[in-house]
Structure formats: structure tokens, C-alpha cells
Amino acid sequence: MSSIKQFQVTFDCAEPERVARFWCEVLGYVVPPPPEGFATWEDFHRSQPPEEQGTWAACVDLSGVGPRLFFQRVPEGKTAKNRVHLDVRAGTGLVGEERLAVLEAECARLVALGAVRVQLLAADEDNESCIVMQDIEGNEFCLD
């Protein structure tokens, strides 16, 4: 029986560095330091064969609590709804109008970073409100 304690979430995308930087801003994550022996990520990428340069990027939670996010370049674009998505938890513990106000403020911040608001899912008898959004390459996520 395995007891896995850590995991990473991997995104297929066209521009790994750009998408990684977007998610760093959304979540307060950072780009990890370059591998040992390299002063910058640019130095590291230049050391790779041309076909491997810029094919991936990552971002991490400095506190070590959240999962590592990994972004890998793929040749095809997104064509359907994600099978897995992130829930960005901005309104945890809040309900009603107070929750909606917090979600709307965070939505405005994320739109300024390049996200797209898709739709508000209003509260019902089972769930509180959330806002469905897309990141800068069209990947869906919920602002919850």
C-alpha cells in the first residue's frame, strides 16, 4: 500500500513559460531556481538541444503546501473541455453576498492577468456560488 504525500499537476500547453508565469501570479507561486550550475533558466535552456529548448516550465508553492505545477509543450491545441481542472479557492468559508463579492473581486484580478470569465454558477440548495473561468490558453478552472 502506497502512501503518496506529494503530487504535481501537469498542463499540456503551447507556451509553457507564459502559462507558468500566469499561474504563479494567480496562486502566489514562484518559478523555482534553475538547476545547479546555471545562473538563469535562459542559461539552462540554451544548454539544451534546440528541439528541447523552452519545452517545459514549472511553478512551486514556496510554503511547500501546494502541489508543483508543471507545463509541457504539446503540438496540438486544446479542442475540448478539460477532464481535470483546478479550483482556485478564494471564497472558502464565505456564503451568500459576502462570498460573491470576494469571488467577483478575485475574478477582476484574474481577468487583468489574462484569464477569461466564462460564467457565474449561482448558489443553489447544494452548492455555494463559483465562477467558471479560463486561463490564458483556454484551460477551464473554477474560482470557488
Confirm whether 80 is domain-assigned.
Answer: no
Segment of 2-6, 120-124, 134-138 carrying the highest mean pLDDT: 134-138
In this structure, are 12 and 67 located in the same domain? yes
In this structure, are 18 and 67 located in the same domain? yes
Q: Looking at residue 102, what is its pLDDT?
A: 96
pLDDT band at 38 (very low <50, low <70, confident <90, very high): very high
- What's the mean pLDDT when you consider all of the chain? 91
**Could you report the per-residue pLDDT of 45-82, keeping only the tens digit for each?**
889 898 888 899 999 999 989 999 999 999 888 888 78
pLDDT band at 19 (very low <50, low <70, confident <90, very high): very high
What mean pLDDT is predicted for residues 98-108?
96
| Grid cell 472558502 in the structure block, residue | 92
Confirm whether 121 is domain-assigned.
Answer: yes
- Type of residue at 81: K
* Contacts of 131 by beta carbon, 8 Å cutoff, 6+ apart: 103, 104, 107, 117, 118, 119, 120, 121, 142, 143
Q: Quick check: 2 pLDDT over 70?
A: no
Q: Which domain holds residue 67?
A: 8-73
In this structure, are 62 and 92 located in the same domain? no
- The number of distinct structural domains making up the chain is 2
What CATH code is carried by the domain that includes residue 34?
Answer: 3.30.720
Confirm whether 48 is domain-assigned.
Answer: yes
CA distances to 46, 59, 97, 104 from 67, in Å: 27, 9, 30, 25
Distance CA 87, CA 93 (A): 14
In this structure, are 111 and 133 located in the same domain? yes
